[in-house]
Structure 1
Amino acid sequence: MTKMQDFIAGRTPPELYEAYLTPGFFTPFAEEMAALAKPGDRCLDLACGTGAVSRKLAERFGDRITINAVDIAPAMLEVAKKQSSACSIDYQIAAADDLPFNDDSFDILFCQQGFQFFPHKEKAMAEIRRVLKPGGRAAISVWRPAEEASPVFAAFEKAVGRHLGNDLLPLGPFAFGKAGRLKTLAKGARLKIDALETLTLPTTLPAIEDFVLFDVLFLGRPAADGALQPVLEPDDPDGDRLIALMVEDMTQALQEFVGADGRLHAPSSTHYLLARKTPKGGLLRRLLS
């Protein structure tokens, strides 16, 4: 049995994702997003994954808001439902460019680290505008390039390039590019930009070997259906050697970030767009005022 097969231990990719990334890596940013909502809002969590943002909304507001959450990957939603069994969250399978909601449905929409994977980004941004109520807000986060987003992922990309090949880079989560692209897409969809910022928060990631094992398995290239694809196949007979080389590289690069608990404690940084759907006639009213 290879190290990767032993690491998987019968768990599905979304179960590993929830166990290794959500608590210390996605949850701090989900808390920031949830703070944007207010009682009475109808909220949409777009590309919800295993439900980090939805759960934070439910924890913060309980039954004082309505939460819909969609993702294209059924397996992700199954884990989200299990994690949210005590919350009133309506989970549905849906593509970002074909949302199953009426026009003008939501007060606020959240999209945490999903937008970079959408194959049709212009259509997805247009759908975001369509389903927002007039005056409704959108909060969208997309990782900066790895060398800017996180010293941990920067070291990981270097290790991947060195031992597995530069053709795998940039890794999917960090492939979106510069913040200006978000601005262009939002303006193209006729959304009013309230803020386009860099948000940096302290985060916690697994111990180095666990981090490498998880990432080579499941953070390389999400498929069209949202399934996470491996950079290395679990049964690759050369996998253990390559894993050991990558762990050695990352250990040398990241000593300052290794905590007493063995995990990696480092800042992570994302592009953070806040935009809104201008009420109909808003431009004319401003011109006449």
Structure 2
Amino acid sequence: MPEPDSLFSGSIPENYDRYMVPLIFEPYAADLASRVVSLSPRRVLETATGTGVVARFVLPRLPAGASYAATDLSPPMLEFAASVLSDPRVRWRAADALDLPFDDEAFDLVLCQFGAMFFPDRVRGYREALRVLSPGGTFVFSVWDALDSNDFAREVGEALAEMFPADPPTFMERIPHGYHDVGRIEQDLRDAGFTRITIDTITAQSIAPSALIAATAYCQGTPVRAEIEARDSGAVQQATERAAERIAERFGEGEIRGRIQALVITASD
């Protein structure tokens, strides 16, 4: 599998922000922002920032004197995030969540939206979050629930399996929707040193102006694009249209609505 920083390069950051963010990420960014604000942190670290959707929701609700470090392993994603969010409280920095370039106890809160699924060593990533937290600090993060609980992603996966039956793209099932076992998540956190853990299942609605927009989001705004191109370099648009047809068959024409579901985890020592 390619390195995570190369998965989100080329045109993916712009398409990701244009299509995926409003489709599935904004509802959970709003949820995380409410959780963050309720804890009144002064020093916040975000890992796996992506295109900055969480920061856009959190920063307006933080006090003027708060600081916010936004990090990501992918420079293209981080550069895009910095280009669309101008706030003097933010420090943008390319950094690996498994090897954070910060001192011990440097933050009151660490947050990560839909990044832990990409960590090659989750216990190490969680241990790093604990290391940089001050005593009594909190780690808040989210992961996607199973593919079957996320309507549009499931339909795209099934459409691509039909298109490439001998070698179906499996990125969505394998990575974004591959880390949802509550017992495993809790054990990983305990192995990292966290002792107080709460895991909430949050169901929301994914809304798209059309089935084609939803299909474009997944097929052209995520690493699914690279999986399609690896099988047929000229098939991205065909795959997008095929996925759109499948989504429209189930959810109709015009504006469509589907279920999205995620786990939101709060942990402290």
State TM-score, norm by structure 1. Answer: 0.80
The residue that corresponds to 2:22 in the other structure is 23
Specify the SS of the correspondent of 2:50. Answer: coil
Specify the SS of the correspondent of 2:153. Answer: helix
Would you say 1:273 and 2:265 are equivalent positions? yes
1:272 maps to a residue whose letter is V
By how many angstroms is 1:231 displaced? 2.4
The residue that corresponds to 1:157 in the other structure is 157
1:41 maps to a residue whose letter is R
Would you say 1:215 and 2:215 are equivalent positions? no
The residue that corresponds to 2:132 in the other structure is 131
- Contact residue 25 and residue 205 of structure 1 kept, 8 A: no
Specify the SS of the correspondent of 2:80. Answer: helix
The residue that corresponds to 2:5 in the other structure is none
User: Separation in 2 of the partners of 1:239 and 1:104?
Assistant: 46
Task: Indicate how the Cα distance of structure 1 residues 47 and 242 shifts in structure 2: closer, same or farther if over 3 A, else same.
Answer: closer
Would you say 1:63 and 2:64 are equivalent positions? yes
Among 236, 241, 245, the residue aligned to 1:244: 241
User: Separation in 1 of the partners of 2:260 and 2:198?
Assistant: 19
Q: After superposition, give the CA deviation of every residue in 1:97-123 in whole Å (9 maximum; x if it has no partner).
A: 100111111111111000000112121
Specify the SS of the correspondent of 1:37. Answer: helix
Task: Indicate how the Cα distance of structure 1 residues 254 and 89 shifts in structure 2: closer, same or farther if over 3 A, else same.
Answer: same
By how many angstroms is 1:206 displaced? 5.3
By how many angstroms is 1:75 displaced? 0.5
State TM-score, norm by structure 2. Answer: 0.86
By how many angstroms is 1:91 displaced? 0.9
Q: After superposition, give the CA deviation of every residue in 1:50-102 in whole Å (9 maximum; x if it has no partner).
A: 11111211111252421111000000111110111245211100011100111
- Contact residue 71 and residue 95 of structure 1 kept, 8 A: yes
User: Separation in 2 of the partners of 1:146 and 1:51?
Assistant: 24
By how many angstroms is 1:240 displaced? 4.5
Would you say 1:201 and 2:198 are equivalent positions? no
Q: Which moved more, 1:100-109 or 1:191-200?
A: 191-200
Task: Indicate how the Cα distance of structure 1 residues 253 and 171 shifts in structure 2: closer, same or farther if over 3 A, else same.
Answer: farther
By how many angstroms is 1:214 displaced? 3.4
- Contact residue 169 and residue 228 of structure 2 kept, 8 A: no
Q: Which moved more, 1:246-255 or 1:185-194?
A: 246-255
1:207 maps to a residue whose letter is S
By how many angstroms is 1:238 displaced? 4.5
Q: CA RMSD of the aligned region, Å?
A: 2.2
Report the identity percentage: 25
Q: Which moved more, 1:136-145 or 1:197-206?
A: 197-206
By how many angstroms is 1:24 displaced? 4.1
User: Separation in 1 of the partners of 2:84 and 2:206?
Assistant: 21
User: Separation in 1 of the partners of 2:127 and 2:137?
Assistant: 14
User: Separation in 1 of the partners of 2:32 and 2:236?
Assistant: 38
1:231 maps to a residue whose letter is E
Specify the SS of the correspondent of 1:48. Answer: coil
Specify the SS of the correspondent of 1:31. Answer: helix
By how many angstroms is 1:133 displaced? 0.8
The residue that corresponds to 2:12 in the other structure is 13
1:73 maps to a residue whose letter is S
Structure ID, larger Rg: 1
User: Separation in 2 of the partners of 1:276 and 1:218?
Assistant: 34
Among 250, 253, 256, the residue aligned to 2:250: 253
The residue that corresponds to 1:85 in the other structure is 86
